[in-house]
Amino acid sequence: MVSVQFVDKDIVQVINEDGTAQRHLEPKMTHQEHLRLFRTMLLVRATDSKAMNLQRSGRIGFYVPSFGQEACQVGSASVLKPEDWVAPAYREPGAALVRGYPVKLLIAQCYGNKADAQKGRQMPSHYGSAATNFITASSPVGTQIVYATGVAWAMKIRKDPRVALVYFGDGATSEVDFHVGLNFGGVFRVPCIYFCNNNGWAISVPREKQTASPTIAGKAAAYGIEGARCDGNDVLAVVQVTKQAAHHARAGGGPTLIEALTYRMGPHSSSDDPTRYRSAEELEAWKKKDPIERYRRFLEKQGIVTAKDVKDLEADVTKEVEDAVAQVEGQAAVAPESMFEDVYAELPYHLRLQRDALLGERKAGAMVEYEQAEGKFPL
């Protein structure tokens, strides 16, 4: 007989729905820190609203909004140090913003024009930046889990006291990369935080069809790692649980699987119609648990903000987003020849040839060079 600890129904919650708090669980934070979190959550909401409008009016091609999931991303990322690593899924603009990625670049990435730091090479909502240790978002489900595991393992081997935090959804838990990543992370006790945004739906597949496990955090037992569940619409609960996980990882205790219970109030992406697979009642019930509203009630009750402060902050973030759009929109397209950059230090002959052809500057010499090089492909 072996006893196994299974993370069951218990959920860490700090802010009650009415905005009162369970003070003994509350993370120690200054007013400044609270304001920064709150403002970032508002900024995510404003960015999402604007970007969805831009998409609907044909000004950007695609967008992934995160309405309702602001607390998960902002709260968890706020716990990390600048030198830590984040491997996002694709619904964590708030994590990028907390790490100092400017909203202007988020918007610019959606436009894919000259203002885009990624030179227009990714579809919209697939941002990332080396400067903030924020790995570029990738649409294949769960791929980032193995990257984060490897990054964390490398840091452990190098005795570098940094942690990696990886985001994924409930659907990703059925993926190969989840199984491989968490198993490996468990065996090698890597400093990784596996953060599952359980928003109840993998596009149209409901949570109960995803796995028969009573909880997602319970899957931690199968990999011999820690597991925790928190209310993902309660930013302080997210902060609290992530802090513990980061501390555990930095102390050499290995990974933690966090399940944050949340809800995607908008569509999966601008290409999705969620009314096809979920009820209006369900959405309404979750709208009442809006993470921004919950936090606002708490902050007002604590005297950290007034109703007027909130209005000012909302106006402030709206302006920030509008300014970003104004600065980005109308910029020139990325020069087509830039597609030949950033892979080779020096462009090989066959790519030079293609570039020249693209630019209509095929020189007589290029073809000769190509023929001479035959049989020596590619370099």
Residues that bind other proteins (CB under 8 A): 1-8, 10, 174, 176, 178-180, 183, 186-187, 189, 209-214, 218-219, 221-225, 254
Nearest to 41 by CA among 85, 15, 77, 14: 77
Beta bridge partners, 205, equal 202
Which residue is associated with the tokens 């709150």? 38
Nearer to other proteins by Cβ, of 67 and 195: the residue is: 195
91 catalytic? Reply is no
Q: Which two tokens stand for residue 125?
A: 């909502």
Residue 12: partners with Cβ closer than 8 Å, 6 or more residues away: 25, 228, 229, 230, 231, 237, 240, 241
User: Closest separation between CB of residue 187 and other proteins, Å?
Assistant: 5
Catalytic residue among 268, 294, 296, 355: 268
User: Closest separation between CB of residue 183 and other proteins, Å?
Assistant: 5
User: Closest separation between CB of residue 1 and other proteins, Å?
Assistant: 5
Nearer to other proteins by Cβ, of 225 and 325: the residue is: 225
Q: Give the span between the Cα atoms of 1 and 247, in whole angstroms.
A: 32
Nearer to other proteins by Cβ, of 7 and 51: the residue is: 7
User: Closest separation between CB of residue 224 and other proteins, Å?
Assistant: 3
User: Closest separation between CB of residue 174 and other proteins, Å?
Assistant: 5
Q: Give the span between the Cα atoms of 183 and 316, in whole angstroms.
A: 45
Nearer to other proteins by Cβ, of 63 and 201: the residue is: 201
Nearest to 313 by CA among 9, 30, 45, 29: 45
Q: Give the span between the Cα atoms of 235 and 74, in whole angstroms.
A: 8
277 catalytic? Reply is yes
Catalytic residue among 34, 126, 229, 264: 264
User: Closest separation between CB of residue 213 and other proteins, Å?
Assistant: 5
Catalytic residue among 247, 277, 344, 370: 277
Nearer to other proteins by Cβ, of 7 and 60: the residue is: 7
Q: Give the span between the Cα atoms of 153 and 158, in whole angstroms.
A: 9
Nearer to other proteins by Cβ, of 80 and 202: the residue is: 202
268 catalytic? Reply is yes
Residue 294: partners with Cβ closer than 8 Å, 6 or more residues away: 15, 17, 19, 71, 233, 234, 235
Q: Give the span between the Cα atoms of 334 and 311, in whole angstroms.
A: 38
Which residue is associated with the tokens 């990325």? 334
Beta bridge partners, 198, equal 261
337 within 8 A of 359, measured Cβ to Cβ: yes
Helix (H, G, I), strand (E, B), or coil: what is residue 165? strand
Q: Enumerate the active-site residues.
A: 264, 268, 277
